[in-house]
Amino acid sequence: MELMNTELIDWSRAQFALTALYHFLFVPLTLGLSFIVAIMETIYVKTGDQRWKTITRFWMTLFAINFAIGVATGLIMEFEFGTNWANYSWFVGDIFGAPLAVEGILAFFMESTFFAVMFFGWNKVSKGFHLVSTWLVAVGSNLSAFWILVANGWMQYPVGMEFNPDTVRNEMANFWDVALSPVAVAKFLHTIGSGYVIGALFVIGISAWMILKGRDVLEAKRSMVVGASFGLLVSIFLAVSGDESAHQVAQQQPVKLAAMEGLYKGEERAGIIAVGILNPDKKIGDDLPPLYGDVEIPYALSLLGYHDIDAFVPGLDDLVLGNEKYGIEGAASKIEKGKIAVQALQSYKEAKKIDDKIAMAEARKLLDEYMPYFGYGYLEKPTDIVPPIALTFYSFHIMVGLGTWFILLFLIVLYLTMASDITRFKKILWLSVWSIPLGYIAAEAGWVVAEVGRQPWAIQDLMPVGIAATHIDAGNVKVSFWLFAVLFTVLLIAEIKIMLRQIAIGIKGGH
Amino acid sequence: MFETLSLHALQVYWWIIIALLGGLFVFIMFIQGGQTLLNQLSASDQEKSMLVNSLGRKWELGFTTLVLFGGALFAAFPKFYATSFGGAYWLWLGILFSFIIQAVSYEYRKKESNFLGAKTYETFLFINGSVGTILLGIAISTFFSGAAFTLDDNNFVHWSVGTRGLEALMEPLNYLLAIAMYFLVRIIAGMYFLNNIDHEPIRTRTRAMIKRNIVYFLPFFLGFVGWVLMKDVYTYHPDTLKVTQVSMHHLYTFIELPYLAGMFLIGVVMVLVAVFNSVFREKNCCIFTVGIGTVLTVMALLLNVGLNHTIYYPSTTDMQSSLSIANSAGSHYTLTAMSYASLMVPFVLAYIAFVWHAMDKVKITEEEITSADEHQY
């Protein structure tokens, strides 16, 4: 294994980021809106009120427009591990492939089979069967999210496997450790939460626009009640699951947490930075202030990360340079151990070639001992373990700030629709409209924190991105990057134009 | 239950599942076949919409099968996933691009303000049906013709040619299967339309189309079968995994494993019977006969290439790097865990069949396509 050239790695990462960010423009709405339309259809079936059927079908039409492009952009995600991360796919495919296959068996077929009933079955199957189908689409899409996030969670926190030097790959040792790892579960809950919030923002935002334009006001108000009630519940759920997610990051990826908070010198009773600007001149180990104009919420980081007000939260200085007082090992020492592991693997292979059993056993022993540091063996200097701090820090703060705003917005909108007449509060209605894009920004920022924040790792501590990519001339990836960029952008424009047109046609106009 | 099986038995079990998925995928590719027939089988925009809507209610099943095929290969045969997808980069990306443009086309084609216009989306469907099918046929054909890869001592793939998969397009023999597949999926699409669309003019044109396409299909298919049965094939030693070349090994496999040969022949006969019934006896019921026939034929071919110590993905540059089910599969633990997950497959097939039946009881008619109360593509 050798490090590949930076150009190839950068383009491979850029392509993955591009396709994943595009895909995640559509996934959250599928996750959230599927439940909202299921709730709306349930009200229709319970009450028999045709207006609810009209409302359900309007939102279903928007759901379908979004779903199609979600499926289109999702296809590449399934295969891109192979096309662009072939070494990765071999090194951990024995573990990583399983959740993807289970996702296909359990979730995708459910989603796609019942999707056809949901859209074409109104006059073909009974009301009850149709309603069940709508719920199964929601369950299927959420199940799919679970399995893909199990796969992603495993990259952040690899568990349940053993390294096999004969095949040079990691092999699964415990399926349940992989599927139910606390990181995977926290990730799943937080990610579907973000989908639900976007679904709710979408519904209240579009309903608000219709009220502002005086179109289908009654239907829009009804939609708003469903959207805001669902939104308030799920935005609180999102905050709680975010807390658990951050707790897991503190346990398993302390470097990411330090980057998220711009924390250089670790401290006990550490606070959370509510707002602040990073000092661009700040380097690891120097005495410059890390932030300007920061406002801190005292003790909150220790509480969030360790559920203990007195806990010590390590900063980047501690994690890179080490901190004896708190027993934190520096990156230099980990790199040394990593190099021992890499060398041991090499010795094992050489001994195997000449069938020297004793040398094989010795190398194996050494490899087992130092395997947890294997990936460090490919890093050049201790600061290589630090992800891009500014991108991680600002993305995290944008996400948290917006998440807080959404709770407030849902609270206000729900109050005004239930206790007053929301049609009189034009500013709130406009704020609802403009909060739709904010939902997407927050969700994408969340993924930037998760994925940029874990650099340089493809698999935490085991495999840096520099050895994970496919051996291919970077020119190929450049071309495919631009092909994806152009194609997905064209499809996105088409999707938005169609969506806006359908919204303009209105709730009653379509049916 | 699966824990007690040997690693070899698990590898065989998973290859059978891959072969089944491959068979189902080729069958469901009637959607692609149908997409190449939209203009040919319709005389008006309304008739075209009937064809599009008929396919549109099934396209996601095909898409999902493709995704599952990828996932199952990744989980059960990760070395193939890493080697072929990473190596034959442009071949696979070409296939994926053709499916990406398919996925939006049904929903967006008839929508107002769709940016690209209905014609563009119909062209996307045609590209997916024609180029996508041919590229997939070529990709599958590399199971027989091989690919230019070497695996290093980490089992990481190195491709010997800069064309990264496009070189498979330069191998004329790969087109035998690719073109046969192209005509086959059009034939199956015809039978699906006969069954699903209650509209006589379309049915008349469809029968004529099937008649022509079976004539085009047969020489390519027979050419492919002849080539495969006569060719030199790589095999591996079950203990040492050392790869050697054996002539006409695929033919011997059919002789040594007669149930495979039987499966293959029954499959082919079922396809031919379905064509005969559709064209000459003017029946509309043959989608299932041709479907089962296709699944059996494709399964028999894939089982032939994977079982009996055969190399299923030969390397043309380094014989010993070639992939077999023995050297490319997941670990015993993973295959066992995945085998439990595979127990869901019959259940999934059952609900697909149930929904298919429930939805297709009512055939597509002109009234439905012109009704304002229906979701239309």
User: In A85-173, where does DSSP find H-type helix?
Assistant: 86-102, 109-120, 127-156
Looking at residue B365, the DSSP 8-state letter turns out to be: -
Six-digit token pair at A405? 């705003």
Return the residue of B nearest to A92 by Cα.
B78
| Percent of the residues in chain A that have a pLDDT greater than 90, as a whole number | 93
Other CB atoms within 10 A of residue B324 CB: 27
Residues A244-249 have a mean pLDDT of 94
Are A86 and B76 within 8 A, CB to CB? no
**B229 to chain A nearest CA, in Å?**
31
The answer for A 487-506 residues in CB contact with B (under 8 A) is: 487, 490-491, 493-495, 497-498, 500-502, 505
Structure ipTM over 0.90, yes or no: yes
Residues of B in contact with A30 (CB under 8 A): none
Return the residue of B nearest to A349 by Cα.
B153
pLDDT of residue B373: 67
pLDDT of residue B100: 96
pLDDT of residue A472: 95
Residues A231-246 have a mean pLDDT of 94
Residues of A in contact with B352 (CB under 8 A): 109, 113
Write the DSSP string, A26-83.
HHHHHHHHHHHHHHHHHHHHHH--HHHHHHHHHHHHHHHHHHHHHHHHHHHHHHHHHH
pLDDT of residue B1: 86
Lowest mean pLDDT among A158-162, A293-297, B295-299: A293-297
Q: Which residues pair with B150 in a beta bridge?
A: B158
Residue B361, SS3 per DSSP: coil
Round to whole Å and give the CA distance between A335 and A374. Answer: 8
pLDDT of residue B363: 86
Residues of B in contact with A492 (CB under 8 A): none
| A68 touching B (Cβ < 8 Å) | yes
The answer for A 29-48 residues in CB contact with B (under 8 A) is: none
Query: Which sign, positive or negative, has the C-alpha torsion A201, A202, A205, A211?
Result: negative
Q: Which of B19, B16, B17, B13 is nearest to B1 (CA)?
A: B13
Residue A313, SS3 per DSSP: strand
For residues A463-501, one letter each, b for 16 or more C-beta atoms within 10 angstroms of the residue's C-beta and e for the rest, the string is bbbbbbbbbbebebbbebbeebeebbeebbebbebbbee
A202 pLDDT above the threshold of 60: yes
β pairing state of A267-268 and B157-159: unpaired
Q: Which tens digit of pLDDT belongs to each residue from B143-193?
A: 999 999 999 999 999 999 999 999 999 999 999 999 999 999 999 999 999
Are A101 and B97 within 8 A, CB to CB? no
Segment (H or E) for B159: strand B157-159
Residues of B in contact with A97 (CB under 8 A): 71, 73-76, 78, 81, 330, 334
Q: Which of B226, B153, B111, B69 is nearest to A75 (CA)?
A: B69
Are A392 and A256 spatial neighbours (Cβ–Cβ below 8 Å)?
Answer: yes
Q: Which tens digit of pLDDT belongs to each residue from B242-280?
A: 999 999 999 999 999 999 999 999 999 999 999 999 999
Residues of B in contact with A69 (CB under 8 A): 103-104
Instruction: Give pLDDT tens digits along chain B (377 positions).
Output: 899 999 999 999 999 999 999 999 999 999 999 999 999 999 999 999 999 999 998 998 999 999 998 999 999 999 999 999 999 999 999 999 999 999 999 999 999 999 999 999 999 999 999 999 999 999 999 999 999 999 999 999 999 999 999 999 999 999 999 999 999 999 999 999 999 999 999 999 999 999 999 999 999 999 999 999 999 999 999 999 999 999 999 999 999 999 999 999 999 999 999 999 999 999 998 999 999 999 999 999 999 999 999 999 999 999 999 999 999 999 999 999 999 999 999 999 999 999 988 888 888 888 888 776 667 77
Are A194 and A399 spatial neighbours (Cβ–Cβ below 8 Å)?
Answer: no
Looking at residue B247, the DSSP 8-state letter turns out to be: E
Return the residue of A nearest to B81 by Cα.
A82
Q: Which residues contact B12 (CB under 8 A, 6 or more apart)?
A: B307, B325
Q: Which amino acid is at A255?
A: V
For residues A60-77, one letter each, b for 16 or more C-beta atoms within 10 angstroms of the residue's C-beta and e for the rest, the string is bbbbbbbbbbbbbbbbbb
Residues of A in contact with B81 (CB under 8 A): 81-82, 89, 93, 97
Are B114 and A93 within 8 A, CB to CB? no
Of B57, B99, B337, the CB nearest to A75: B99
The answer for A 117-146 residues in CB contact with B (under 8 A) is: 117, 119-125, 129, 133
- Report residue A309 CA to chain centroid gap: 28
Are A97 and B351 within 8 A, CB to CB? no
Are A68 and B106 within 8 A, CB to CB? yes
Return the residue of A nearest to B336 by Cα.
A175
Round to whole Å and give the CA distance between B132 and B136. Answer: 6
Of A104, A172, A497, the CB nearest to B68: A104
Lowest mean pLDDT among A3-7, A403-407, A464-468, A506-510: A506-510
Are B352 and A113 within 8 A, CB to CB? yes
| Percent of the residues in chain A that have a pLDDT greater than 70, as a whole number | 100
Q: Which tens digit of pLDDT belongs to each residue from A442-464?
A: 999 999 999 999 999 999 999 99
Six-digit token pair at A141? 């899409």
Write the DSSP string, B262-327.
HHHHHHHHHHHHHHHHHHTS--S-THHHHHHHHHHHHHHHHHHHHSTTB-SB-BSS-GGG-B-HHH
Are B159 and A472 within 8 A, CB to CB? yes
Return the residue of A nearest to B95 by Cα.
A76
Lowest mean pLDDT among A428-437, A483-492, B54-63: B54-63
Are A200 and A410 spatial neighbours (Cβ–Cβ below 8 Å)?
Answer: yes
Round to whole Å and give the CA distance between B362 and A125. Answer: 10
Are B113 and A501 within 8 A, CB to CB? yes
Round to whole Å and give the CA distance between A71 and B63. Answer: 9
Q: Which tens digit of pLDDT belongs to each residue from A18-47?
A: 999 999 999 999 999 999 999 999 999 999
| A71 touching B (Cβ < 8 Å) | yes
Segment (H or E) for B253: helix B249-256
Residues of B in contact with A128 (CB under 8 A): none
Of A57, A65, A500, the CB nearest to B107: A65
Residues of B in contact with A75 (CB under 8 A): 63, 66-67, 96, 99-100, 103
Q: Which amino acid is at A223?
A: S
**CA atoms lying within 13 Å on the CB side of residue B50:** 25
Q: Which amino acid is at A137?
A: V
Round to whole Å and give the CA distance between B313 and B319. Answer: 10
Of B92, B99, B155, the CB nearest to A83: B92
Are A69 and B97 within 8 A, CB to CB? no
Round to whole Å and give the CA distance between B252 and B37. Answer: 39
Of A173, A491, A501, the CB nearest to B333: A173
Six-digit token pair at B6? 């040997």
The answer for A 337-366 residues in CB contact with B (under 8 A) is: 349
Round to whole Å and give the CA distance between B137 and B133. Answer: 6
pLDDT of residue B367: 82
Q: Which residues contact B143 (CB under 8 A, 6 or more apart)?
A: B302, B305, B312, B313
**CA atoms lying within 13 Å on the CB side of residue A429:** 20
Q: Which tens digit of pLDDT belongs to each residue from A54-106?
A: 999 999 999 999 999 999 999 999 899 999 999 999 999 999 999 999 999 98
Other CB atoms within 10 A of residue B13 CB: 18
Return the residue of B nearest to A71 by Cα.
B103
Are A124 and B338 within 8 A, CB to CB? no
In A310-397, which ranges are E strands? 312-313
| A79 touching B (Cβ < 8 Å) | yes
Six-digit token pair at B5? 């099986």
Are B307 and B34 spatial neighbours (Cβ–Cβ below 8 Å)?
Answer: no
Are B153 and A349 spatial neighbours (Cβ–Cβ below 8 Å)?
Answer: yes
